Chain A
Amino acid sequence: MKTKKTFSKIGTTFLWSILTIITLFPIYWMVLVSTRTPVELFGKPDLSPTFFQKVHWKNFTKPFLDGIYADYLFNSIIVATSNAALVTILALMATYALSRFKLPGSESIFFWTMTNRMAPPAAFLLPLFLLFSTVFKFGDFTLFDTKIGLILLYCVFNLPFAIWLLKGIIDGIPKELDEAMIVDGANLFTIFRKLIIPLAAPGIAVTSLLSFLFAWNEYLLASTLTSVYARTIPTGLSEFVTTTGTNWGTMAAVALVSMLPALLFLFAVQKHIVAGLTFGAVKG
């Protein structure tokens, strides 16, 4: 019985080792490509970790210091950060309203917000493009190719899931606490500042990190609704597809840099990622 257990342990470890290699091998290759010159990439792929001896830094400096990708990176940071902040604030307000007030039709509102997240973005590309470029016009100002446009648009996709994530947490804060504070003469702002935000802090952190991640990673809408000034890193990455004689090293470097925030967040949100991705339907 004991040997059988040892065998299954060895088998499982072996299986997971292979899986880990499958997961990491393509990423490892990308890192290799990002550190090599075009000449070094020519011919048979060399899988040895040459980045310990020599790194071709030009792959990173050329796009991010001399090239347009510095702007793309800046845009991505602005859009993702503002979106995360806006989504978190709006979702906190909305969730508090849905949780504390018995509003007529709030169940339907709840479901309707969710349908916005499930809709395929490709179906909304054309109307959004037209609305952004011609319909929502304030003098000379249109939302097309602006960061504000993207920030507001990503709210449509992030708000539903943020509300779903926060609902469980705010429902869990006893109503009696609010009522006690109201009796003491506190206004809504004080209730948020002193009660809701401190008690829901971990949930708020997860919500904002996952919203940031979505906005950072989004490609399709960003590529359709921007042209020059508000392009984000993912759209920049896709530009490598059409370029003839692609500089693979630069492409790998850009891909690697655009992956970094996600990697940093992985450690912060790992425990909550399941709850986040399943709208809280399954607790992680």
Chain B
Amino acid sequence: MLSKNKTGWLLLSPTILILVLAGLVPFIYVLYVGFFQWNPLAVDPSLQFEGFASNYRRLIFDEVFLESIWRSIKFSVVTLTIELSLGFILALSLLSSFPLKSFFRSVHTLPLVIAPIVVGSIFKLFTVQGLGPLPHILKDYFGYTLNYGLNADQAFWMIVIMDVWHWTPFVTLTLLAGLSALPQDPYESAKIDGANNFQIFTYITIPMMVPVLIVVIFIRLMDSLKIVDEVWMLTGGGPGYATRFTGIHIWKEVFEKRYYGLGSAMSILYLYITIVICWVLYSVMVARGKNED
């Protein structure tokens, strides 16, 4: 029996080795560096200790950093709300049959496989001043000036629109998969009892869809909290700080200003916030699973 377990560990070992070396070691390293001041371009390019948790104490009053976190959370909540409502409507509409349905669904799947950086490029080409058709169309037909290179609000909402374009299909397809797998019995009995469509939706569909909804929220939240590529391509985090999400902020502090110590502390705080949100959702998921058993 012991040798059998040995074989098991042997099969697992390469996976564990890679995950330790490239997942756990960097984590411990960043945790360690986060307690020091370290700027390789400074006069003294070594690790300086300036009191316990000096970086963290600085970060608590660092408005730019805190605002970037707030911005990321706001962005995640806004996109999640839009994508969920839109995705639910689209998934419900895909349950009925209509002409060209499979064609429409294939096109809808398309954005999912496109790289974020390419999505950023597509939107840049489409919306940039002087080249893209979108500013022209808005100007000519609606008298609206779109120049997100100067207007902070427009830049933020442009990113939201891009994210909705990119990820609503994921929500639609996941919810559709969930909807198709629902048992039919409750619907039949509800119809016999004379429930209308709205009642069926709120009292049967939504409650039965909760597990799938949690999975979707979980995955979309994780992804939108770590958004970098598309934003980097489209606005570069600007204008000003308008689209500087936490990921971009860390990148700029670490690789432009070379604040290694402070950047590490930011990474840890950012990771911590993500894990907390993650853990809360995971507990909800597990608690629900136990209730159902």
Q: Do A and B bind each other?
A: yes
Residue numbers of A with Cβ under 8 A of B are 8-9, 12-13, 15-17, 19-20, 22-27, 29-30, 33, 41, 44-45, 47, 90-91, 93-94, 96-98, 100-103, 109, 112-113, 115-116, 118-131, 135-136, 152-153, 155-156, 159, 163, 188, 213, 216-220, 224, 234, 237-238, 240-241, 248, 251-252, 255, 258-259, 262-263, 265-266, 269-270, 273-275, 277-279, 281-284
A127 touches B117 (CB 8 A): no
- Name the residue in A218, A234, A240 with the highest tally of chain B Cβ atoms < 10 Å from its Cβ: A234
A122 touches B247 (CB 8 A): yes
> Which residues on A sit within 8 Å (CB–CB) of B246?
120, 122
Given contacts A122-B228, A258-B118, A282-B212, contact A103 B98 (CB under 8 A): no
A159 touches B19 (CB 8 A): yes
With an 8 A cutoff between CB atoms, is B45 at the interface?
Answer: no
Q: Tell which of B149-157, B184-192, B229-237 binds the partner.
A: B229-237
Chain B interface extent, by class: 35 or more
With an 8 A cutoff between CB atoms, is B250 at the interface?
Answer: yes
Given contacts A123-B270, A126-B267, A220-B229, contact A44 B177 (CB under 8 A): no
Nearest B residue to A112, CB-CB: B19
Given contacts A16-B100, A255-B122, contact A101 B8 (CB under 8 A): yes
> Which residues on A sit within 8 Å (CB–CB) of B173?
273-274, 284
With both chains docked as a complex, state the minimum distance between the C-beta of B74 and any C-beta of chain A, in angstroms.
Answer: 17
> Which residues on B sit within 8 Å (CB–CB) of A159?
15, 18-19
Report Cα–Cα, A109/B19, bound state, in Å. 10
B18 touches A131 (CB 8 A): no
> Which residues on A sit within 8 Å (CB–CB) of B53?
none
With both chains docked as a complex, state the minimum distance between the C-beta of A282 and any C-beta of chain B, in angstroms.
Answer: 5
Inter-chain contact total with CB atoms closer than 8 Å: 267
B126 touches A127 (CB 8 A): no
Cross-chain contact of A188 among B7, B15, B19, B228 (Cβ < 8 A): B7
B255 touches A224 (CB 8 A): yes
Report Cα–Cα, A8/B96, bound state, in Å. 10
Chain B residues 250 to 293 lying within 8 A of chain A, measured CB to CB, are 250-251, 254-255, 260, 263-264, 267-268, 270-271, 274-275, 278
Sample of 19 A–B contacts (CB below 8 Å)? A13-B98, A13-B100, A20-B107, A24-B107, A26-B126, A26-B165, A90-B18, A94-B12, A97-B11, A122-B246, A126-B267, A127-B27, A128-B26, A156-B23, A217-B117, A219-B117, A234-B118, A274-B173, A284-B173
Prevailing SS type, chain A contact patch: helix
With both chains docked as a complex, state the minimum distance between the C-beta of A196 and any C-beta of chain B, in angstroms.
Answer: 11
Chain B residues 118 to 164 lying within 8 A of chain A, measured CB to CB, are 118, 121-123, 125-126, 131-133, 136
B133 touches A30 (CB 8 A): no
With both chains docked as a complex, state the minimum distance between the C-beta of B266 and any C-beta of chain A, in angstroms.
Answer: 8
A131 touches B25 (CB 8 A): yes
Residue numbers of B with Cβ under 8 A of A are 4-5, 7-9, 11-12, 14-16, 18-19, 21-23, 25-27, 29-30, 33, 90, 93, 96, 98-101, 104, 106-118, 121-123, 125-126, 131-133, 136, 165, 170, 173-174, 177-178, 181, 212, 215-216, 219, 222, 225-226, 228-229, 232-233, 236, 246-248, 250-251, 254-255, 260, 263-264, 267-268, 270-271, 274-275, 278
Report Cα–Cα, A234/B121, bound state, in Å. 10
With both chains docked as a complex, state the minimum distance between the C-beta of B292 and any C-beta of chain A, in angstroms.
Answer: 15
> Which residues on A sit within 8 Å (CB–CB) of B104?
16-17, 19-20
> Which residues on A sit within 8 Å (CB–CB) of B225?
120
Report Cα–Cα, A96/B15, bound state, in Å. 12
A255 touches B251 (CB 8 A): no
B33 touches A156 (CB 8 A): no
B8 touches A100 (CB 8 A): yes
Nearest B residue to A27, CB-CB: B122
Cross-chain contact of A41 among B115, B131, B219 (Cβ < 8 A): B131
Cross-chain contact of A127 among B106, B122, B264 (Cβ < 8 A): B264
